[in-house]
Structure 1
Amino acid sequence: MYDVSTRKRSLALLAHGRSLNSVSRETGISRAAIRSWQDRLEPLPRIAAPAPGPPADDRAYAYLLGLYLGDGCLSPHSRGGYHLRIACADAWPGLIQQCREAITKVRPDVGVYTLQKQGCAMVTSYWRHWPRLFPQHGPGKKHERRIVLEPWQQEIVDAHPWEFIRGLIHSDGCRITNWTTRLVKGERKRYEYPRYFFTNLSGDIIRLFTDALDRVHVQWKANGRNVSVARKVSVALMDAHVGPKH
């Protein structure tokens, strides 16, 4: 791209009777370029690359956002883009597959591959604009900085709260079976009951999780960075919409 002053100097040489060949040799500018300036002096405006659009699938994005907030990160690449990485334990092959499918649904035009690490698989995808879809990206650990959803993200989470909850549980949560004992007609018997747990060091992410639970009428209790769902009706709701990892 040549500036206007360079174009004017080249055309001034032509105006003094110089040939295209001689002006081209002196300036190092091609004859075609100099000839085109005789018709148009001002450079054509640059056409900006179109900004990436919203997620292709909002439901899949709500799930992927939950996975990202729990066990995901963005890593800059030397080419200028970013790798989205979601850590998935080897013990849950179904989770690995669901993560891959979610990324593909959110951005059908990007590739997804799995990088094996000790005890886990890093589901990875390269794209120049991942920070646009995950603006929570930033330096340092998530729990050391503020995590707030953008308005457009909140709209998606509000529309698909169960997918968001499922992503968070599949990343930093679990379904377990607790037990206790009770006296029944004078005899102590063992009693088992299921419970969901979610643990995260970020108070902001805990709040996003509990806000989503409130939205779907799931009762919960918090103890520091741990959130549990143990009421029978609420566990039944979680089983219907989330279920254990597999």
Structure 2
Amino acid sequence: MVEAQTQNNKEILRAKNISKVYNEGKISTQVLHDLNVSINEGERVAIVGTSGSGKSTLLHLLGGLDTPTKGEVWLKGELLNTMDETQRGEMRNQHLGFIYQFHHLLAEFSAIENVAMPLLMRPTVNIDDAKQQAVELLKKVGLGHRLEHRPGELSGGERQRVAIARALVTKPALVLADEPTGNLDYENAQSVFELLAELQTSFGMGLLMVTHDPNLAKMAHRQLVLKSGQWAQ
């Protein structure tokens, strides 16, 4: 058993010298090279870079969705590398929220049911409590009038608001957002990001987002530029 790392009490996540290599037959492709990064409570960090620079791969490693070839990823003082998939899944559900470019809502379920789903993965939460928390959060994102609507009955901006509510319903320490406004027009993108930033401040969580939008990146506390799998100087 690896002991928890001593950390800054405001630090949520830390990656130390992480690299990622993909092997296909005799061909090896190194996507990330010895990266270090940390995220603190309440901090908003943007990762920017051209397509193919490794941004999404990095986000997957930081979120425990994949493991680095080399290096360490620490979440809330626990080393993710040594955990099996079940343990990493529990850590994700307890501490992380995810938002993607495409909402990934389940088409057959209502807005309430989609938002409540992460809570229902916790054995201590019953369905009535989960739905009540989902209703409260949907109201916060301006969808109190769309509670029973399915994704197909919602606009693109509304679907992304449901996705934001789903990411926040577990009250995560950190939200990882991969191009959260990339599938929206300019007006909807601005509205959705302003909502996300407002909720981040209100909840006191960290936000790490990948974006190609320089206007959104400027609204972060820090910008990290990834170039060919390395931080640009």
TM-score using structure 2 length: 0.26
Name the larger-Rg structure. Answer: 1
Bigger fraction of residues in helix: 1
